[in-house]
Amino acid sequence: MSKRPHVEIYTDGACSGNPGPGGWAVLLRYGKHEKELSGGEKKTTNNRMELTAAIQALQSLKESCSVDLFTDSEYLKRGVTEWMDGWKELGWRRGKPGKTKKLANADLWQTLDRVVEDHHVKWHWVQAHAGNQENERVDALARKAIPS
């Protein structure tokens, strides 16, 4: 089996009001090559934009890759690395067996679960607005993508 290409991904979501209009952005880096992606929605939440950024990033990859994905969203990182298996066991709900509640953003979590399967992803949390150049870059792109 051949070695997977290695891609660095930086993601961010932003909202003007929560809920309100929101934007998401992605920076993909493969060697010396970079690509930016962004988009927005008129009525959404910050968490939905964080999830959308990760989904769009992973869906944009043309082949199975080894990915280092950087996010300033603990919700996204912890959701994927700590909580998702439990939600799946409960039928995409949260809580305890016999006493479950609706899972917020279940549609996006299910989509993310599917797109992650195609890649080997390592999830990294970075502190927002702390001088990380790539995080600041995707933050600015996400804010710019918010529909007016």
Confidence of residue 130 (pLDDT cuts 50, 70, 90): confident
Query: How many domains are there within the chain?
Result: 1
Write the burial class of residue 133 (CB in 10 Å: 0-12 exposed, 13-18 middle, 19+ buried).
exposed
| End-to-end CA separation in angstroms for the chain | 48
Set 40, 72, 79, 119: catalytic member: 72
* Catalytic residue status for 13: yes
Residue 26 lies in a domain: yes
DSSP string for 1-61: -PPPPEEEEEEEEEESSSSEEEEEEEEEEETTEEEEEEEEEEEE-HHHHHHHHHHHHHHH-
Q: 41-72: per-residue pLDDT in tens?
A: 999 999 999 999 999 999 999 999 999 999 99
Range of the domain at 125: 6-144
Set 31, 33, 129, 131: catalytic member: 129
Q: Identify the three-state secondary structure at position 138.
A: helix
* Catalytic residue status for 72: yes
Q: Give the pLDDT score at 100.
A: 94
* Catalytic residue status for 23: no
Set 22, 23, 40, 139: catalytic member: 139
* Catalytic residue status for 12: yes
Set 12, 68, 79, 91: catalytic member: 12
* pLDDT higher than 70, residue 92: yes
Confidence of residue 136 (pLDDT cuts 50, 70, 90): very high
Residue 1 lies in a domain: no
Closest CA to 79 of 103, 98, 58, 43: 103
Phi first, then psi: give them for residue 80, nearest 5 degrees: -75, -45
CATH of the domain at 18: 3.30.420.10
DSSP 89: H
* Catalytic residue status for 50: yes
Confidence of residue 129 (pLDDT cuts 50, 70, 90): confident
* Catalytic residue status for 113: no
Set 22, 23, 40, 50: catalytic member: 50
Residue 64 lies in a domain: yes
